[in-house]
């Protein structure tokens, strides 16, 4: 899971996170929107696999004193991540340079960023990292070539390229449909420059 909890409030940046529900291009979307200058990200790994420790994102959030949590990527039948995960500097799983499901990287170094897999360097002093994918929106534009056949619940992460972020969830969409809905810029106070798919199917969960 990915979770976020508050820093000490800044006098310049409102601390509160916002929840926004919208419909874009016929797809219902839910967002938890926040500013990373006032909140810190954490990766929360379930060492024993998907049926252990926290059965919901709400339980993961409670265990980390977090404001919100969302499941973060794909895993195999044994519960092992399909790509690299780093939790507080501890490496879990293996770097995956092949699958489209691990073509993006969410990383926390000096600050949180979303990167293409090829742009992350393993020698970086990385506190938290999750390989996930595919990208849905990049440089403000829809990513082309996304699957438009399989509809599923999906979790995703959006970023304005600066300090505004949102965890996102939809109950049913194809990857291409979700990309179109996000590229249509449905949020009133967050311009979606980059969006990364996190998971799809029954394990998709946002609290």
Does residue 47 surpass a pLDDT of 80? no
**Res. 8: pLDDT tops 60:** no
- Of the listed ranges 65-74, 127-136, 154-163, 175-184, the one predicted with least confidence: 65-74
Of 202, 186, 97, which Cα lies nearest the Cα of 137? Answer: 186
Residue 43 pLDDT level (bands cut at 50, 70, 90): very high
What is residue 6's predicted lDDT score, i.e. its pLDDT?
76
Q: pTM value? A: 0.91
Is there a cis peptide before residue 134, judged by omega within 30 degrees of 0? yes
Tell which residue, 150, 182, 205, 163, has the closest CA to residue 3: 205
| 16: confidence class by pLDDT, cuts 50, 70, 90 | confident
The pLDDT of residue 13 is above 90: no
End-to-end CA distance of the chain: 11
Q: Give the pLDDT confidence of 93-116 residue by residue, as tens digits.
A: 999 999 999 999 999 998 999 999
């Amino acid at each position: 899971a990915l979770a976020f909890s508050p820093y000490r409030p800044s006098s310049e940046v409102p601390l509160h996170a916002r929840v926004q529900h919208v419909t874009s291009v016929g797809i219902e979307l839910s967002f938890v929107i926040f500013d990373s200058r006032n909140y810190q990200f954490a990766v929360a790994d379930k060492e024993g696999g998907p049926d252990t420790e926290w059965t919901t994102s709400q339980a993961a959030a409670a265990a980390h004193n977090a404001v919100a949590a969302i499941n973060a990527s794909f895993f195999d039948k044994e519960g092992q991540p399909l790509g690299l995960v780093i939790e507080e500097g501890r490496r879990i799983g293996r770097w995956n340079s092949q699958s489209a499901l691990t073509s993006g990287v969410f990383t926390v170094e000096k600050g949180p960023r979303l990167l293409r897999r090829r742009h992350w360097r393993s020698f970086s002093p990385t506190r938290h990292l999750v390989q996930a994918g595919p990208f849905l929106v990049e440089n403000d534009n829809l990513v082309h070539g996304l699957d438009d056949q399989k509809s599923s619940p999906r979790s995703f992460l959006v970023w304005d390229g600066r300090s505004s972020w949102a965890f996102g969830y939809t109950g049913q969409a194809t990857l291409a449909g979700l990309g179109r809905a996000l590229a249509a810029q449905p949020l009133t106070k967050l311009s979606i420059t980059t969006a990364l798919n996190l998971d799809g199917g029954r394990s998709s969960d946002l609290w």
